[in-house]
Structure 1
Amino acid sequence: MPPTFKHNFTAGPFQGTSTFSTGLFINNEFQDGEGQKTIDVFNPSTEKVIAQIAEASAADVDRAVQAAQKAFETSWGLTVPGNERGKLMMKLADLIERDIDEIAAIESLDNGKAFSVSKNFDVTQAAAVIRYYAGWADKVHGNVIEVNEQQLAYTRHEPIGVVGQIIPWNFPLYMFSWKVGPALATGNTIVLKPSEFTSLSALRVCALIVEAGFPPGVVNVVPGYGKIAGKAISTHMGIEKVAFTGSTVVGQEIMRDAASTNLKKVTLELGGKSPSIVFDDADIEQAVRWAAYGVFFNHGQTCCAGSRIFVQESIYDKFLEGFTKRVKSLQVGDPFHPETFQGPQVSQLQYDRVMGYIEHGKKEGATLHLGGERHGTEGYFIQPTIFTDVTADMKICREEIFGPVGVVKTFKDEHGRQIWIVIFAIFFISGADIIHQANDTFYGLAAAIFSSNISRALKTAHELKAGTVWINCVNQLHASVPFGGFKQSGFGRELGEYALDNYTNIKTVNVNLSRDSPI
């Protein structure tokens, strides 16, 4: 028998027992993995094991691919009209909303994020994304192209087939919706691997996929380790497209795997080291609140976190004072406490990684302005942390920490033109230019600008090398608005109409309407 999750929730809006299977979900059935191997699931708030999930092997992934291929050929794909796919997706979104309190409680228990965030952001937005793409399901079509009176040419946007999807642990169900939404709308079938740290919400929703009436094999969920199940997905000859959200290093490995096998299509949403730029004409109170949200939302475990904060010199002291006060007010603790904003890091591994960066920052000579220590004695909690007196070459300024750690740095102006006198010559150098500083990273996922001068803000936005730029806000994500990166933050777009392009092949059909031929 496959393993089962059973937990009695006593805090928050959902109070009761949640019970569901945590086996591999293949062909609409929960199953044991090969050899009945399991993975322990830890509550990051207590460091205690709360469940086991089935561990997928390469053979299990193969079984899932076979189920998905059969479904694509017989009960999904081109055989089911878009409006019928859309109805099932709408039903799934309704069911997620029906069980929102239970799913949010599972997400908070498994991931550690505040229940208020799980419910009002993660699960709410996951349902919204699936509903958004349900609306697209019967609107994915090609064009008729005028050639001449003797020729009819048109294009078809056809599903690719079986697609592999690998999602991270920071937004488990929300990332699930980003992947399955456009794939299902366009008629593909799915083999999805959630993170081994946070598979519970995806498995709970698998039961809703059955309840909604999806045919067997359309969605298959195979929890497991990246080196085993993830690699099996990226190398499987029966999978013609793979979508991955996670680190840049793993994204590069997936590209190599895809290229070395069947040259499958790849889309990657990878890491970031996003700048937040605060100009001297910004509403400082507004900038303080948004900048704090930019760094510490989701415990800093956000790929687009605004972890590099650049503040114009003339307002630096005032901003830092307000920012410090605001960060100190953030409540860290039990995810089910109504006042909690920041819960624990997701795992011991991530806790150790973040604390390692904090120690590195201190050794490099940065000033630990706030935090930098463990919060409490149980769980993977880290105090919200701010570094000042940082330089661009420091590790904490260049690498993605993926935790509640931000750096605050000054700049002079947009152009930052300085005069240096070297021997008898005068050189005009623009190295302090805020655009240069903000773009001085191999990432390019997002950025934020705070200014009351919309012309200045827009000019700056157009000069930044980032896939998303927020003005006077940060971390605002919507189902209809595309999201993705430049440079080593990946390629392809999630969300919006653009994401549909990731999951279709374009076929051209030419029809000769005359009896003429070239010879």
Structure 2
Amino acid sequence: MSNAQLASFKVPEIKNEPFKHYAPGSPERTAIESALNEMKQSLPFEVPIIINGKPVKTGKLGKQIIPSDHARVLAVYHEADDSLVNAAIDGALAAKTTWETLPWNDRAAIFLKAADLVSGKYRYKLLAATMLGQGKNVWQAEIDAAAELADFFRFGVKFVEQLYSQQPDQNTSGSWNRVEYRPLEGFVLAVSPFNFTAIGGNLPGVPALLGNVVVWKPSPAATYSNYLVYQILTEAGVPPGVIQFVPGPPPQIVKQAISHPSFAALHFTGSTHVFKQLWKDIAANLDKYKGYPRIVGETGGKNFHLVHSSASIPNAVNQSIRGAFEYQGEVPRVNRVVPPSLITLFVLKGQKCSALSRLYVSSSVWNNGFKELLISETKKIKVGDPIEFLHFNGPVIGRPAFDKIVGYIEKAKKAGAEVLTGGTWDDSKGYFIQPTILLSGDPQSITFQEEIFGPVLSVYVYDDKKWDETLTLIDTTSIYGLTGAIFANDRAALVQATNRLRNAAGNVYYNEKCTGAVVGQQPFGGARASGTNDKAGSISIFYRFVSARSIKENFVNLEDFSYPSNLV
């Protein structure tokens, strides 16, 4: 039985969480250093499965290593088996009625409290776990695990309030029309990635905020930070069973969940290949389900910067460096002369789906200082352990990523690309790859088309006279459509590029890097092979996890079934 709702409540004003700068001598620098030291002294942590609020230990352990020091283990986690996945599903379904009938203001209060715990009590612990476990430096971890995670929870409350307020504005005399936004019938499976702690919180958080129950499978490479997020949600008041925390082998857990008759939705962030396969598997199971499951996914990108001849060179260079190399990417040195129309560069890009991956530069801009500035500035990038504050870049996430990135560099060299800078790596202690740019004459090569997620930005220097052809090239080279940026002071060029590249990016930026979407400011997501474009960080994503029901209440009795037109 639900509690009485005795007022129509309004949530507090919501603003983006300010992020701290961690300058030397600042209180936040001291706090994060303390949190890192404390965490390093307590390794390794043990992470259980959490079913119905109770820890479960199977004894079958997986390891989350520290990618900057892979001999050390950040956490061991117990892996769920089929029976535990079924127990998690059953427990979630048992918790569903109580959770979905809890008054909205109480669910809202829980998530607002969770945001305050993220930005306050747990801030530095979350940052330390993200830095050690996922290889981010403190600036990147602050934006992710503190600011964005808090924003997701707070703005989520605001967006659901707005969603619930959307009601019919027309009522026939003697009646009242209204709409309720029901949670989905069944449970939601949330499959979160390694690269953003905030996404780990948002994927189960969005459906749960709407009254859904969730089975959450965290990434093996982000298990500890995600476990902290789960603990925060529990401390904030999410009841046992509403979010089931189920680490373990991804294929096994996901297969078990999507085979269940009560599977209602997938909320996924990860690789394109996996997402496509899951879509096929869900379709193959369609006759098992009560309804048609919602499939919400954000996958990869092959994101572009387009630099027009009218662009500001320093801005375009610095924005490209940030866009390509934040959270593990790197950059260039030119060794030989190639005709401007054939210059192609490959650069390591960041471990985030929005990172700059293809850079198209006007030959007049390239030859007027862009190349030299790009090279000189990117050479300043320091690569190393992210807990040492001077490092702009840390390690890639693990051995598979490291081997994949190195493999692409080697493939490019065998195909005739010239190493302009970097091209070296060191995995003796951590998974470090030095800033690398490869020069090629083929803008359709494999590294322009396939996502590498940890390195490869492809830069093509085009002839100014071939602006129109370059727009076609950008639009047709990649299967993805996530983010892009256009650098130009010529308004006509901006407009033309925007129109021609309408479907090439779900997020497009003018004179600004293609990364860094802010919750409540730039709804994030892309189409084509990049996902379902349901726009995380906006009200749009919340529509996907409700099933609306229209209610009409009549106040006036019908005295006669016949129509007035029947009278003669």
The TM-score, its normalising length taken from structure 1, stands at: 0.89
| Cα separation, partners in 2 of 1:190 and 1:24, compared to 1, 3 Å | same
Mapped to 1, the partners of 2:144 and 2:530 lie a distance apart of 23
CA distance in 2, matches of 1:393, 1:313: 18
**AA at the equivalent of 2:531:** G
Deviation at 1:393, TM superposition (A): 2.4
Q: 2:299 corresponds to which residue?
A: 270
Q: Does 1:453 align with 2:490?
A: yes
Aligned to 2:404: 353
Q: What is the number of equivalent residue pairs in this alignment?
A: 492
Distance 1:497 1:459 in 2: 29
Say if 1:29 and 1:517 are closer, same or farther in 2 by CA, change over 3 A: farther
- Among residues 480, 483, 488, which one is paired with 1:443 in the alignment? 480
Which residue matches 2:357? 307
Identity among equivalent positions (%) equals: 28
2:97 pairs with 1:73: yes
Contact 1:310 1:411 in 2 (8 A): yes
Q: Give SS of 1:205's match.
A: helix
Does residue 507 (structure 1) correspond to residue 529 (structure 2)? The answer is no
Indicate the residue corresponding to 1:89 in structure 2: 111
Runs of 4+ in 1 over 3 A off after TM superposition: 17-21, 136-139, 145-154, 510-514, 516-519
Tell me the equivalent position of 2:511. Answer: 472
Report the CA distance between 1:151 and its aligned residue: 5.9
Kindly tell me: are residues 120 and 510 of structure 1, through their superposed partners in 2, closer, same or farther at Cα, counting changes over 3 Å?
closer
Structure 2: where are the runs of 5+ without partners?
Answer: 1-29, 329-349, 564-568
**Structure 2 residue 67 is matched with structure 1 residue 44:** yes
- After superposition, the Cα gap between the structure-2 partners of 1:147 and 1:380, relative to the gap in structure 1 and judged at 3 Å, is same
Alignment match, 1:288: 317
Deviations 1:163-214 (A, max 9, x none): 111011111x111233133223212121111111221101122222222122
What is aligned with 1:237? Answer: 261
Q: Counterparts of 2:381 and 2:475 in 1: how far apart (Å)?
A: 27
Q: What is the distance in 2 between the residues matched to 1:179 and 1:462?
A: 32
How far the C-alpha of 1:439 sits from its partner, in A, is: 3.9
Whether the aligned pair in 2 keeps the contact of 1:134 and 1:181 (CA below 8 Å) is no
1:462 aligns with 2:499: yes
Q: Give the drift of 1:150.
A: 6.3
Q: Displacement of 1:494 after TM fit?
A: 1.6
Please say if residues 248 and 488 of structure 1, whose CA atoms lie closer than 8 Å, have aligned partners that are also in contact.
Answer: yes
- Name the aligned partner's letter for residue 265 of structure 1: R
State whether residues 333 and 340 of structure 1, in contact with CA within 8 Å, keep that contact through their aligned partners in structure 2. yes
Give the match for residue 62 of structure 1. Answer: 86
Does 2:163 align with 1:140? Answer: yes
Residue of structure 2 equivalent to 1:379: 430
Question: How far did 1:21 drift?
Answer: 4.7
The one-letter amino acid paired with 2:269 is: T
Q: How many angstroms apart in 2 are the aligned matches of 1:476 and 1:454?
A: 23
- Which residue of 1 is the match for residue 138 of structure 2? 115
Could you tell me which runs of 5 or more consecutive residues in structure 1 were left unpaired when the two chains were aligned.
Answer: 1-8, 418-429
Deviation per CA, 1:358-404: give whole Å up to 9, x if none. Answer: 11111122222221210474210001222233423211111001113
> What is the 5 A alignment of 1:42-441?
42-50=65-73, 51-74=75-98, 76-77=99-100, 79-97=101-119, 98-141=121-164, 142-144=166-168, 146=170, 148-149=172-173, 152-161=176-185, 162-171=187-196, 173-261=197-285, 262=289, 263-299=292-328, 300-317=350-367, 318-375=369-426, 377-413=428-464, 416=466, 432-441=469-478
More moved, 137-146 vs 200-209: 137-146
User: Is the contact between residue 68 and residue 220 of structure 1 (CA under 8 Å) also seen in structure 2?
Assistant: yes
Q: CA deviation at 1:13?
A: 4.3
1:329 CA displacement = 0.9
Residue 38 of structure 2 is matched in structure 1 by: 16
1:16 match: secondary structure = helix
CA deviations over 1:58-84 (Å, ceiling 9, x no partner): 32222111221122112x11x112111
Instruction: Tell me whether 437-446 or 333-342 shows the greater mean CA deviation.
Output: 437-446
Amino acid at match of 2:431: Y
Tell me the equivalent position of 1:4: none
Match of 1:486 among 517, 520, 527: 527
**Rounded Cα–Cα distance in structure 1 between residues aligned with 2:217 and 2:446:** 31
How large is the RMSD of aligned CA atoms in angstroms? 2.3
Letter in 2 for 1:504: V
Q: Which residue of 2 aligns with 1:420?
A: none
- Tell whether the 8 Å contact from 2:471 to 2:500 is kept in structure 1 after alignment: no
CA 1:307 to 1:394, structure 2 compared with 1: closer, same or farther past 3 Å? same
Contact 1:43 1:110 in 2 (8 A): yes
Match of 2:12 in 1: none
Q: Are 2:61 and 2:76, in contact at CA under 8 Å, matched by a contact in 1?
A: yes
Q: What letter is aligned with 1:129? A: F
